[in-house]
Every structure is written in C-alpha cells, then in structure tokens.
C-alpha cells in the first residue's frame, strides 16, 4: 500500500482525479488500526481495481479534518476524484466489514 505524503486537499484531489482509490486513515498509536492492518494486503489483492493509499492521520491532520475523518481506522473511496463511499468512525473494523463496504460501493 502506498503511503500518502503530507499534502493538502488540492494536492490530494489532483492525485486521485483519475482512477479508483481507497484512502485508509490510521495512526501508529491506534490499536484498532493495528487490528485491521494484517488483513489489508489480502483486501488489496481481492480489490485490485482500487489503488489503496495509507494516510497517517497525525502527519496529515489538516487533510484528515478537511475530509471530516474524526475517527480511525477509517476508509474513504473515490472514483475519478469524487467520493463514492466512506466507512468512517472510531470503531474497530473487521476484514468482513471492510469487504462489505467495498462490495457496496458500485451498487
């Protein structure tokens, strides 16, 4: 998974303007983020139509706030720069919950 460098919203919009992306918001100190991380390589493989980007919440605190992400771990999906879905809250997420979220994006 590509780690997103520190950037502002305009820079992010430019980066994700073409294609399908899933942003994964987390932080090193977050136990619920550590819980889902081992499942992410398999999820990325199963959903290869998406480019997954890891967003360090602490490094990108302004961007995280601009995107209304107030809990981690969280996921936001984009297609050609437009948000198509979000799984944003402070709850622990299972592999099954993330897969269900991704499966429902194109419905």
Helix (H) or strand (E) holding 61: helix 61-66
From the list 4, 12, 22, 33, the catalytic residue is 33
From the list 30, 55, 87, 102, the catalytic residue is 30
Q: Look up 37 and say whether it is catalytic.
A: no
Q: Look up 30 and say whether it is catalytic.
A: yes
CA proximity to 47, closest of 25, 77, 17 = 77
Q: Residue 1 gets which letter from DSSP?
A: -
CB 31 within 8 A of CB 1: no
Under 8 Å CB-to-CB from 18, ≥6 apart: which residues?
80, 81
Annotated active-site positions, please? 30, 33
């Amino acid at each position: 998974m590509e780690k997103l460098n520190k950037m502002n919203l305009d820079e992010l919009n430019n980066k994700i303007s073409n294609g399908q992306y899933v942003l994964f918001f987390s932080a090193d100190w977050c136990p619920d983020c550590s819980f889902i991380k081992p499942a992410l390589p398999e999820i990325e493989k199963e959903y290869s139509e998406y480019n997954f980007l890891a967003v360090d919440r602490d490094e990108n605190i302004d961007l995280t706030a601009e995107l209304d992400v107030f809990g981690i771990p969280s996921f936001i999906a984009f297609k050609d720069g437009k948000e198509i879905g979000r799984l944003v809250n402070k709850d622990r997420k299972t592999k099954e919950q993330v897969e269900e979220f991704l499966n429902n994006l194109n419905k």
